Structure 1
Amino acid sequence: MSAVGELLIALVILIGLVGTIVPMLPGPSLVLAAIAIWAIFVGGWAWAVVVGAAVLIVGAAVLKYLVAGRSMKRSGISNRTVLIGGLVGIVGFFVIPVIGLPIGFLAGAFVAEWARDQDVRAGWRGALAAMRAAGVAILIELTASLFAAAGWLTGAIAL
C-alpha cells in the first residue's frame, strides 16, 4: 500500500479513536473497518491483524455491557433510567451538538431516578452512577480500539 493510503487509513483510525471518546461516531467500528480495508489492499498476514482487531473490538463490546450492567445493578440503577438517559441524550445531541449527548444523558438519568424515588439526592446518585458506568464502557471500548490501532501500526510497519 502506498504511503498516502497508509496515511488515509491512519486518519480513519484516528477519527475512530476520537469517535470512541466523543460518542458521535461509531468509533470501534471505524477502527475495525479501516484495518479491514488496509488488509484488502495489503493481503497476506494483514488478515491476522484484522482477526486480532475484531476479537479485541467484539470482546470489548460484550465486556462493556457486562461491566456497566453489573456496576449499575450494584448502584441500584434500573434499565429504565439508562433508557431514558439515552433517549434524552440523543435529543440533547441534536439540540446542543456533541456536548448535548452527555448533558442530556445526565439530565435524563437524573429525572428518571428522581421520579422513581421522589428524592433529589437519589436522583443525583443515580445519574452519577449511570455516568460512571457509561465512562467505564467508553474506557473499555477505547482500550480495545487503541490495542487494535497498535496492532495495525505494528503490522503496517512490519508489512
Structure 2
Amino acid sequence: MSAGEELLVGLAILVGLVGIVVPILPGVLLIFAAIAVWAFMTGGTVAWTVFAVATVALLVTGVVKYTWPGKRLQRSGVPNRSLIIGGLVGIVGFFVIPVIGLFLGFLLGMYVSEAQRHRTHKDAWRSTVEATKAVGLSMLVELLGGLVAAGAWFGAVLFA
C-alpha cells in the first residue's frame, strides 16, 4: 500500500476516533472498515494479525460499553425511560446548537425526566449526574477499543 493510501486509512481512523467522542459518525465502524481495507490491500501475516487484534479490541469494548455502565445505572435506579428522553432531547439539541447541543440536550432531557419522577431538584440532579457518568464511562470504554485498534495499525505501519 502506498504512503498516500496509508495516510487516507489513518485519516479514516482519526475521523472514527472523533466519531466516538462526538457521536455524529459511526466511529467504531469507520475504524473497523479502515483497518479491514488496509489489511485486505496490504495482505500478509502482520496486516491480518493487526486486523484480528483490532476486531477483538472493538468487539470486547463494544460489549463492555453496554454492560458495565448499564449495571451502574441499574444500581443507581435510573430508568431507561429517562435515558431515552435524554437521548431524544440531545438529538434535537444537536440540531439547535451544533455539537454541544447534543450534550446540553441530553442533560436537559435527563433532568426534566428525573425531576418529573423524583419531584425534588436534589434527587433529579443526582440521577442526571449518574446517567452522565454512565454515558461518559461508555464513551471512554469505546474510545479505549478504538485507540487499541488504531495503535495496533499505527505500530504495524510504522515498524513493518
Corresponding residue of 1:30 = 30
CA offset at residue 72 of structure 1? 0.8
Query: What does 1:94-109 align with in structure 2 at a 5 Å threshold?
Result: 94-109=95-110
Residue type of the alignment partner of 1:103: L
Corresponding residue of 1:66 = 67
Corresponding residue of 2:11 = 11
Residue type of the alignment partner of 1:37: V
**Distance in 2 (alpha carbons) for counterparts of 1:64 and 1:76:** 18
CA offset at residue 157 of structure 1? 2.6
CA offset at residue 153 of structure 1? 1.1
**Distance in 2 (alpha carbons) for counterparts of 1:88 and 1:137:** 19
**Distance in 1 (alpha carbons) for counterparts of 2:93 and 2:48:** 40
CA offset at residue 158 of structure 1? 3.7
Return 5+ residue gaps in structure 1 as ranges.
none
* Alignment TM-score, normalising by the size of structure 1: 0.95
Corresponding residue of 1:149 = 150
Corresponding residue of 1:42 = 42
List 4+ stretches of structure 1 deviating above 3 A.
none
Q: Which deviates further from its counterpart, 32-41 or 149-158?
A: 149-158
Residue type of the alignment partner of 2:152: G
Return 5+ residue gaps in structure 2 as ranges.
none
Residue type of the alignment partner of 1:12: A
Residue type of the alignment partner of 2:14: L
